[in-house]
Amino acid sequence: MKFIDGYRDSDLIGRIVRRIEISATGRYVFMEVCGGHTAAIRRFGINSILPRNIRLISGPGCPVCVTGKDFIDTLAAYSEMDDVMICSFGDLLRIPGTGGRSLEKMKAGGADIRVVFSCLDALETARRWPYKKVIFAGIGFETTAPGTAVAVKLAAEQKLDNFLVLSAHKVMPPAMETILREGTALNGFICPGHVAAITGADVFGFIPARYNTGCVVTGFEPADILVSILMLVLQANSGLPAVEIQYGRVVTASGNMTARKIMAEVFEPCDAEWRGLGIIQDSGLQLREKYTCCDAKKIIPIDVNREAETENCICGDILKGVREPADCPLFGTLCTPLNPEGACMVSEEGSCNAWYKYRITDG
């Protein structure tokens, strides 16, 4: 673990925090838009060591959190069909659909739902169970979409006709633009390091250019996050916002061309619904017509009744960074990791879940 320990060294952390304290002369609000950052910030107690004039808020970065109820309802409906097997990432299992139905509960009731670690596992499952329709629940941003694209391409090439994908894949920049357009007052973005590893840091160029807001592409260790906060403070002080890369050991300006190419080949942009944010133009990824053979929506069309979001749930405002989990009347009482109402409570990376598990005491 030598590659990680250096980034968690408490002396180093202390030195960076002192630099931040010296540089942070005003008040600052920074937003992280990656669930991995939200979880790391809570897990390492980073809020508890930052000066009080720096506020971190969590944006729409958890792919599970922003997935709408209709996606869960569709999967639940598929899972009730004969000879269907659902393959899902683990943390999607507990997300509530309409009436509290979740894949976890469907599974307990007898549905064939399996946890996979990648879309390629789902492809392998389809090979092993040729008489079942294997439907992969395709969620995630540019980090997981290339893996799905590879699996879809392989399935099409090998004419594997029992492998389907229900795509709710999304891309990050349009959501960041929505947040800025809605007037959330931010001094900078802690930009998602692993999304940028695929897309390249240049994808965030419009943020300083059009919205005068700084961006630092950030790694996931405590030292990474704190150095990025320092960089954002210095950017804000200088009044010259830009896209900078802190996570240089992984991220380049142009990203992973192979992954970008295969994503573009398999997916095309579509309008997509984000829980709490509504429909955002060109923020989703759907399979291109050439890959209809793998498109669950087209091969097994299904209509689910859409239900309004839970009353009093403020997931939307939390995702936009306007309010914090503690502002929610349901938080910690009616909505807990055990019985999540809003999606932000479900995933380990959700803001509410991270707040609930790692919240800092006053004592």
Give the 3-state secondary structure of residue 318: helix
16 membership: H or E segment, kind and range: helix 10-23
The answer to whether 260 and 267 are in contact (CB under 8 A) is no
- Tokens in use for 230? 């320092």
Q: Select from 168, 207, 165, 202 the least CA-distant residue to 186.
A: 207
Interface map 86-125 toward other proteins (x if CB under 8 A) = ---xxxxxx----xxx--xx-xxx-----x-x--------
Q: Select from 80, 87, 88 the least CA-distant residue to 63.
A: 88
Q: Select from 301, 304, 302, 266 the least CA-distant residue to 285.
A: 266
29 membership: H or E segment, kind and range: strand 28-32
- Residue list 223-252, contact with other proteins (CB under 8 A): none
Nearest distance in Å: CB 310, other proteins:
16
Selected binder of other proteins within 4, 128, 185, 289 (CB under 8 A): 4
The window from 40-48, 128-136, 182-190, 298-306 that contacts other proteins (CB under 8 A) reads 40-48
The number of residues in the chain equals: 363
- Residue list 290-349, contact with other proteins (CB under 8 A): 336-338, 347-349
Nearest distance in Å: CB 234, other proteins:
21
Q: Write the DSSP symbol of residue 294.
A: G
Interface map 126-145 toward other proteins (x if CB under 8 A) = -------------xxx-xx-
Selected binder of other proteins within 60, 222, 284, 316 (CB under 8 A): 222
Nearest distance in Å: CB 359, other proteins:
6
Nearest distance in Å: CB 198, other proteins:
11
Which lies closer to other proteins via its Cβ, residue 115 or residue 293? 115
Query: What is the C-alpha to C-alpha distance for residues 258 and 18, in angstroms, rounded to an integer?
Result: 41
Which lies closer to other proteins via its Cβ, residue 88 or residue 283? 88
Nearest distance in Å: CB 87, other proteins:
13
Site membership for other proteins, residue 170 (CB under 8 A):
no
Query: What is the C-alpha to C-alpha distance for residues 240 and 232, in angstroms, rounded to an integer?
Result: 10
Give the 3-state secondary structure of residue 196: helix
Q: What is the CA radius of gyration of the chain?
A: 21
Query: What is the C-alpha to C-alpha distance for residues 298 and 294, in angstroms, rounded to an integer?
Result: 8
The window from 39-47, 160-168, 181-189, 263-271 that contacts other proteins (CB under 8 A) reads 39-47
Which residues form the interface with other proteins (CB under 8 A)?
1, 4, 8, 10, 13-14, 17, 35-36, 39, 42-49, 63-64, 89-94, 99-101, 104-105, 107-109, 115, 117, 139-141, 143-144, 194, 222, 336-338, 347-349, 356-361, 363
